[in-house]
Amino acid sequence: MDKDTQLVIVGAGPGGLVLALSLHQIGVNCRVYEAVPEIRAVGAGINLLPHGVREFDELGLLHELEAVGVRTKDVSYFNKFGQFIYRELAGEAAGYPWPQFSIHRADLQALLLRAVRERLGDDSVVVGHRCVGTKQDDSGVTVEFVGPTGEALQRVRADMVVGCDGISSAVRRQLYPDEGDPVYSGVTVWRGVTAHPPILAGAGTSYAGWLSVGKLIVYPIRNAVDASGNQLMNWVASLERPKPNAYDWNRHAKTDDFIEPYLDWHFDWLDVPAMMRSTDPILVFPMVDRDPVRTWTFGRVTLLGDAAHPMYQRGSNGTGQATLDARYLAGCIKRRGLTEDSLREYDQVRVEATSKVVLMNRANPPDAILREVHVRSGGKRFRCIEDVISRQELAEISDRYKRVAGFDIEQLRSRPSFV
């Protein structure tokens, strides 16, 4: 149990892998421990907004993102009848110094995992190690693991431990043993990916409807997936539903479980029920988050990403905030070393920043545009959108979120690098 690792990262999701690359960049020895015995392709599409892409660029990974993702050029909003509400440019098309990407989560994780193993070594990510506890003393932390069948594994010693192990974080559970289940939003989410012809300009994210009548998000996450020139299309359907008896993020669903509100969504730019029926598998899970906490840091142990601040899947910002966590933490360690002072600085800045995003995602993320139009129009067709809401007010909803989340253009352009 010799301390040959300066920092242990629990969890090999995007946040943990970005942290590993960032620590390697500043010369800190780290190792990632992942609970599953094999890291496989899971999940569906995610968006990487310019503030997150900036960090990937500073890690030298922009070309890798380009190879597997789709550069997002715009974001469009429609009502449940497919009537156009609002469109704004995204990424470089909007004037950002960095692009915005839509990408399959599995492609992103594979890209990061490959980079970690190439830069840090094949033994830098250890699978089949589920963290069950940490014990601190004056000189470091001992991490306890069990294997896939519950057998005790060799304990690991490090200067610090960072829990990047998601919304069901074992590290967080030790720090907050009395914390209950995540907070259910009242909304259930169905999502899937399917080969589909490009829609609209072929490089945008489209929002339609609203939660009470059916909300839909659609965007491409891979180009040219077959000889017909189809894209891999990611879609997310959200509906208000009673709280489930148990939370499960890996459960498969049948189309008939949720398609009824979408049956007449035959737009001139998309046949929604046909897209849904062509998808297999379809995943279903509750939209949940956790109330912000005062601190993630206890001595030499801290949290990052969904382990620290799970947020609603609204605003396309979960992976981005985990990336910012990782980069800011690495910057603190670069300035202050592997000390509790570095963790306290990280905690002070990132807890406040992400708490604002969690609360904003509950109240007024960008898709609040759909809510405003639905409420003001009474859920009915409109003659023109200006009869319902002004373009200026629509832009203000979007711009407010960008400022809170940290990707307002001038904010992003002017702030110094984290690392």
pLDDT tens by residue, 326-350:
999 999 999 999 999 999 999 999 9
- Six token digits for residue 197: 């012809």
- Mean pLDDT throughout 256-282? 97
pLDDT digits (tens, 9 = 90+) for 170-219: 999 999 999 999 999 999 999 999 999 999 999 999 999 999 999 999 99
What domains lie within the chain, and their CATH numbers?
7-72+96-180+290-364 (3.50.50.60)
Q: Return the pLDDT at 367.
A: 92
Give yes or no for residue 291 having a pLDDT over 80.
yes
pLDDT at 93 over 60: yes
Give the pLDDT of residue 3: 55
Mean pLDDT of 264-286: 97
* SS3 sequence of the chain: CCCCCCEEEECCCHHHHHHHHHHHHCCCCEEEECCCCCCCCCCCEEEECHHHHHHHHHCCCHHHHHHHCEECCEEEEECCCCCEEEEEECHHHHCCCCCCEEEEHHHHHHHHHHHHHHHHCHHHEECCCEEEEEEEECCEEEEEEECCCCCECCCEEECEEEECCCCCCHHHHHHCCCCCCCEEEEEEEEEEEEEECCCCCCCEEEEEEECCCEEEEEEEEECCCCCCCCEEEEEEEEEECCCCCCCCCCEEECHHHCCHHHCCCECCCCEHHHHHHCCCCEEEEEEEECCCCCCCCECCEEECHHHCCCCCCCCCCHHHHHHHHHHHHHHHHHHHCCCHHHHHHHHHHHHHHHHHHHHHHHHCCCCHHHHHHHHHHCCCCCCCHHHCCCHHHHHHHHHHHHHHHCCCHHHHHHCCCCC
The pLDDT of residue 315 is 82
User: How do residues 229-257 score in pLDDT, each as one tens digit?
Assistant: 999 999 999 999 999 988 888 899 999 99
Say whether pLDDT at 1 is over 50: no
For residue range 2-41, list pLDDT tens digits in order: 456 899 999 999 999 999 999 999 999 999 999 999 988 7
Contacts of 286 (CB under 8 A, 6+ apart): 182, 184, 185, 187, 188, 189, 243, 244, 247
